[in-house]
Every structure is written in C-alpha cells, then in structure tokens.
A = this chain, B = another copy of it.
Amino acid sequence: MTPEIRDLADGDWPSVWEIVREVVQARETFPYDPDMTSAEARSMWVEGASGRTVVAVFDGKIVGTAKMGPNRPGPGAHIATASFMVAAAARGRGVGTALCRDAVAWARSAGYAGVQFNAVVETNRAAVDLYRREGFDIIGTVPRSFSHPVHGRVGLHIMFLEF
C-alpha cells in the first residue's frame, strides 16, 4: 500500500510540526537547529512560490512530509533539492520512497536538470539506500561534519541525480 502524497493544506501544520519536531529533536538525520520553534520550522519547511511542500497520508493520517525547490538561486537554480521526514511510528512502510519519487517527478516536470541532496547523514542507512535505489549517486562525503548523538562525528554525503 502506497501513501497518498498531496500538497500541504491549511490546517495541516500542527501534524507536520509533530513530525518535524520529532525529527529535529532526535538530532540523528538533519543538520537543523533542534530547538527551533513551530514558527521557525514553518517558515523553513513551507516553501514559497518557487517550491512545494507536501504531506504523505495513510488512512487519513499525516505520516510524512517533504519540501522541494531550487537548490541555489541564480546560476544554480536549474538544480532542485528536496528534504523528507517520516514519523518514527510510520517508518519501514515505503513512505520515504513515495515522498522521494514524488519529489523527483515534480522536479522533472518543473524542468529542473537534476536533484541534489546537500547533507545526507552517512549513518542514516535507510535514507542513503533509498536514494541509491532511486538512482542518486554519492558525489562526495564531508567527513565528521555531523554530530550524531550515538555515533559521534559522522560524514555528510552530497548526493545527486541528473536527469
């Protein structure tokens, strides 16, 4: 069973914030401020006109979310980037894969030339393996650039899929 992916709607934020807060407070997968407020997270996660924020829904419940848009302005704006978060209780059910495929399809249809992930934590095997299955290559790894609460300083991969 595949989750439904749809654009973020009015009223979704409290459910999305639960997921974002859980993920950033764990400090295991995102180099984001773990103490960010709901307002700060909303301004960071909800994309403007050049991007898109979506939710993944299982049985009417929001279990994941993604944001996507240009990776850089100006001369870098033909490459997209995207970020994905899945509620801990919903992992292992294909939510991340569905979100990733949706983002790649969006980037293709919006005319981007590829999708770049700037900071994939190397110990986040589920994410690294998922992106590889979807065709992303590891461009390089910045060693010891992420402070993991269990594994200490681990590397961040730059990953890239060119269309």
Residues of A within 8 A of B (CB): 24, 27, 30-34, 71-79, 113-114, 116, 118-119, 138-148, 153, 156, 158, 160, 162
Contact = CB atoms under 8 A, between A and B. Distances in A.
Contacts of A116: 142, 145
B73 A31 contact: yes
Q: In terms of DSSP, what is the predominant structure of the interface of chain A?
A: strand
Contacts of A142: 79, 116, 139, 158, 160
A20 to B, nearest CB: 13
Given A27-B75, A74-B33, A158 B140 contact: yes
A39 to B, nearest CB: 16
A74 B30 contact: yes
B119 A31 contact: no
Contacts of A33: 73-74
Nearest to A156: B76
A75 B113 contact: no
Given A118-B118, A158-B158, A76 B140 contact: no
Given A31-B74, A34-B74, A73-B31, A162 B147 contact: no
Contacts of A27: 74-75
By Cβ-Cβ distance, the 8 closest A-B pairs, closest first, are A140-B140, A31-B76, A31-B72, A139-B140, A33-B73, A75-B147, A33-B74, A79-B145
Contacts of A139: 140-142, 158
